[in-house]
Amino acid sequence: MPETETSPTAAAPVGRRERKKAATRQAIADAALRLFLARGYDDVGIREIADAADVSTTTLFKHFPVKEALVFDEESDQEARLLSAVRDRPAGQSIPAALREHALRLRVAIPDADGRFSAFTDLIEKTPALRDYVQAMWLRHTDALARVIAEESGLPDGDPACAALAHFALEAPRTAHGHDDPRAAIGRAFDLLENGWTAVASGSPRRAGSAGRAPAPGAAQG
């Protein structure tokens, strides 16, 4: 690339530092998760995690300010994926349906070959501190999601219905706690949101965009 050809010495050290930081962060997170899965979240201490990752506790806290953060991937594109679930939903799919699919992908364990994902979700389910932390992480996207819902629905920015749908859609995964069938529990919560949103969307200036994405031009109409 042109910038590396003109200033190779300036770019290379920055790249190495960032790679080293990323590798250290990953090593800490891997060590923490390994210990949490083996013995339980509450029975593992910060110093023990630091020792397992061969770093100081000071270094650990530079990457993870609180113990709960060790469990979760807080990559910057988490919010982008959430908003994309609404913006890029298939033709004819409603906003609540798109958010339901996204929630199920992220918050409900699916059968996996080695059982690691199931063990991870089980760890969160059985640890109140982790359940609360992941929910707080999730809810921080409420305002951005409400704005995208408004854009997609033809409603004004700040519309209370969009804010309510965003909030309750992000809260809905909590309904899975304590249920034998988390998928069904989340589905029931989103059924309620779907029905309420349909009533709101019927009065939207752009009805097709609010209830469900309009079919592509030329698509067959039923």
Lowest mean pLDDT segment, chosen from 45-54, 107-116, 192-201, 211-220: 211-220
Please state the pTM of the whole predicted model.
Answer: 0.66
Other CB atoms closer than 10 Å to residue 65's CB: what's the count? 9
pLDDT at 179: 81
Q: What CA–CA distance (Å, rounded) separates 86 from 96? A: 9
Six token digits for residue 2: 């042109």
- Burial classification of residue 163, based on how many CB atoms lie within 10 Å of its CB (0-12 exposed, 13-18 middle, 19 or more buried): middle
Model pLDDT for residues 165-205, shown as the tens digit of each residue: 999 999 988 888 778 888 899 999 999 999 999 888 776 55
- Burial classification of residue 189, based on how many CB atoms lie within 10 Å of its CB (0-12 exposed, 13-18 middle, 19 or more buried): buried
Do residues 39 and 33 touch, judged by C-beta distance below 8 A? Answer: no
Six token digits for residue 115: 């059982």
Model pLDDT for residues 30-84, shown as the tens digit of each residue: 999 999 999 999 999 999 999 999 999 999 999 999 999 998 866 557 789 999 9
Do residues 89 and 102 touch, judged by C-beta distance below 8 A? Answer: no
The answer to whether residue 8 scores a pLDDT higher than 80 is no
**What percent of the chain stands above pLDDT 70?**
79
- The model's confidence at residue 121, banded by pLDDT at 50, 70 and 90, is confident
Mean pLDDT: which of 38-47, 133-142, 212-221 is highest? 38-47
pLDDT at 211: 47
Residue found by looking up tokens 């998928």 in the block:
183
Q: What CA–CA distance (Å, rounded) separates 83 from 98? A: 10
